[in-house]
Amino acid sequence: MSYELPPLPYDYSALEPHVSKNTLEFHHDKHHAAYVRKYNDAVQGTDLDSKPIEEVIKAIADDSEQSGLFNNAAQAWNHTFYWHSMKPDAGGQPTGELAKKIEADFGSFEKFVDAFKSAGATQFGSGWAWLVLDGNTLKVTKTPDAVNPLTSGQTPLMTMDVWEHAYYLDYQNQRPSYIDAFLEVVNWDFAAQNLAAA
């Protein structure tokens, strides 16, 4: 039961000018596709083959002998989640319960934005910035390489990829400019759905 590379939930040019068609084609069709292919190759014929990818990620997260498999599994999952964390004509501020929860847990939307930008900008090397539900509290967190919040019992609500391949074609070494651009297309509806389902 292979894990399939999902199509982007929008057209390749739909996030322009914030994220270019060129970036999405390389990022989705090359990088994401490679993680999916390597994951499927590694689990084929094993007892992990029939398990949902989230279960595999949690099961092998602390097994150093399975680090290669973990990296490809988590990166396959992270990227799928990342595509849904953006959408055309989005950005702005959340509404409803998510807005209230951000206000309550961070003090204000502006304080959340500051924390999220800082997490993305200060993640040394490759990794991810996340908005998560930890117990009953919203938090901003960052993870290195392929690591995601599923492995620490947190519920991801949305994520921003800060590997260089996410932004280098558009922003070169200006990661803060990419972070600003991401916030112009962040999909608050997706984050709100994840909060409601938690």
φ/ψ of 144, rounded to 5, equals -85, 150
Q: How far is CA 117 from the centre of its chain?
A: 14
Whole-angstrom Cα distance, residue 157 to residue 85?
8
Q: Which helix (H) or strand (E) holds 53?
A: helix 53-60
Number of continuous H segments (helices) and E segments (strands) in the chain: 9, 3
Q: Is 168 exposed, middle or buried (0-12, 13-18, 19+ CB in 10 A)?
A: middle
Whole-angstrom Cα distance, residue 78 to residue 148?
7
Q: Is 161 annotated as a binding residue?
A: yes
Q: Is 32 annotated as a binding residue?
A: no
**Residue set of the binding site:** 27, 79, 161, 165
**Residue set of the binding site for Mn(2+):** 27, 79, 161, 165
